[in-house]
Amino acid sequence: MTALDGRPGTGAGLTVHDSGTEVTVLDRTDEGGGTELLRYVYRPDTPGLESPKPYLHPMRTRSGRLVSLFRPWDHVWHKGLSWALPVVGEENFWGGPTYVHGKDYVQLDNNGAQLHRRFTGVGTTDGTAMIGHELDWITQGGSRMFTERRTLSVTLLSPTAWGLVYGTELTNVSGADLALGSPTTRGRDNAGYGGLFWRGPRSFTDGTLVTPSGTGGDELRGQRHPWMAFAGRHDEDDAQSLVLIADAADNPRHPPQWFARTEAFGCLNPAPFFSEEYTVPASGTVRFRYGVAVADAGPDHAPGLAAAAAELLGRDAMALLRGTQK
């Protein structure tokens, strides 16, 4: 593992710590304390039927309010913020049962896992906390489908907001073409989930979705937008928080259709395979980048937060990581 800048622990307002199973990013103060913004759990102890994968949880605002949910009883395979795909050929890297047209959801022996291989860098550079990660995607039967190069870069945006650039490069090493899809591409209407998926706290149920075109609820599911945000409220103090995801302009099928919910629970998911499969040829590579922003704010602040996320996406995090390794 490489420490960026030769400084594995500190950055401009950020501290990074690797425990051996998870990487913590701390928003530190001059007094020595701070807020844990996120934990990136890269060696999860997840049951096999939940398709083990790295995830970000807890995620918190700069004031310390929790904005993620881990392993909810209704969908135990939801893990904070994670990169998960329900349809990889005939394999499931999402978790739980697989949608089979005419039979609904069926538990099959196809729950794959995303396994940690190594870090290419963990530390800070230019005030940004960086994680470079390599993984193997292994089927339940033991076959390797993808190798992945993943980067996460965390930056403080303002006194009330922080941002994350989440980048992934998936290379098909299965020896055959692989079709990436969703339950909708397999016949279930308006269930096109898959990709970078965020699950919000219980108190965010009945929150507000925000897009460049306005606000709404579940009726926005399936629409195409360059970004979408979720405004939710917290129990006890009635404070508002805002979580936003922006799709990079060079992502396949930009702007994506969105799988988003407010009524049953809160979630956001730019879903590039919502209604049409995407084939990654044998030995081919597909790349995605997303800007995620978290703020102590309400829905009116979404456009400004989207602009900040777009600015973050203007940086090539993978190039930054490669250029600062020692």
Q: How much is the average pLDDT of 296-302?
A: 98
Predicted local confidence at residue 6, as pLDDT: 33
Which pair of tokens denotes residue 79? Answer: 């893990």
Q: What is the pLDDT of residues 147-165, one digit of tens each?
A: 999 999 999 999 999 999 9
- Residue 324 or 250, more confident: 250
d(CA 42, CA 213): 36
The whole-chain average pLDDT of the chain stands at 93
pLDDT tops 90 at residue 325: no
pLDDT tops 90 at residue 74: yes
- Highest mean pLDDT: which of 6-10, 29-33, 207-211? 207-211
Q: What is the pLDDT of residues 103-124, one digit of tens each?
A: 999 999 999 999 999 999 999 9
Q: How much is the average pLDDT of 47-72?
A: 98
- Residue 94 or 325, more confident: 94
**Domain spans in the chain, listed from the N-terminal domain onward:** 4-324
d(CA 245, CA 247): 7
- Strand-pair partners of 111: 92
Q: How much is the average pLDDT of 46-72?
A: 98
For the chain, count helices (H), then strands (E).
2, 23
pLDDT tops 80 at residue 11: no
Predicted local confidence at residue 29, as pLDDT: 72
Strands 240-247 and 285-295 come out as antiparallel
Predicted local confidence at residue 50, as pLDDT: 98
Counting residues of the chain whose pLDDT is more than 70, the rounded percentage is 92
Q: In what helix (H) or strand (E) does residue 133 lie, and over which residues does it extend?
A: strand 128-138
Indicate the pLDDT class of residue 219, thresholds 50, 70 and 90.
very high
Predicted local confidence at residue 326, as pLDDT: 27
Strands 195-199 and 208-211 come out as unpaired
Which pair of tokens denotes residue 293? Answer: 């922003």
Q: Are residues 79 and 55 in contact, defined by beta-carbon separation less than 8 angstroms?
A: yes
Indicate the pLDDT class of residue 214, thresholds 50, 70 and 90.
very high
Predicted local confidence at residue 316, as pLDDT: 54
pLDDT tops 60 at residue 297: yes
Predicted local confidence at residue 28, as pLDDT: 86
Residues 6+ apart with CB under 8 A from 181: 86, 87, 194, 273, 276, 277, 278
pLDDT tops 90 at residue 317: no
The reported pTM is 0.93
Q: Are residues 132 and 320 in contact, defined by beta-carbon separation less than 8 angstroms?
A: no
Q: Report how far Cα 208 is from the mean position of its chain's Cα atoms.
A: 20
Predicted local confidence at residue 33, as pLDDT: 75
Q: What is the CATH number of domain 4-324?
A: 2.70.98
Predicted local confidence at residue 32, as pLDDT: 63
Predicted local confidence at residue 10, as pLDDT: 43
Positive or negative CA dihedral for 257, 248, 254, 306? positive
Indicate the pLDDT class of residue 324, thresholds 50, 70 and 90.
very low
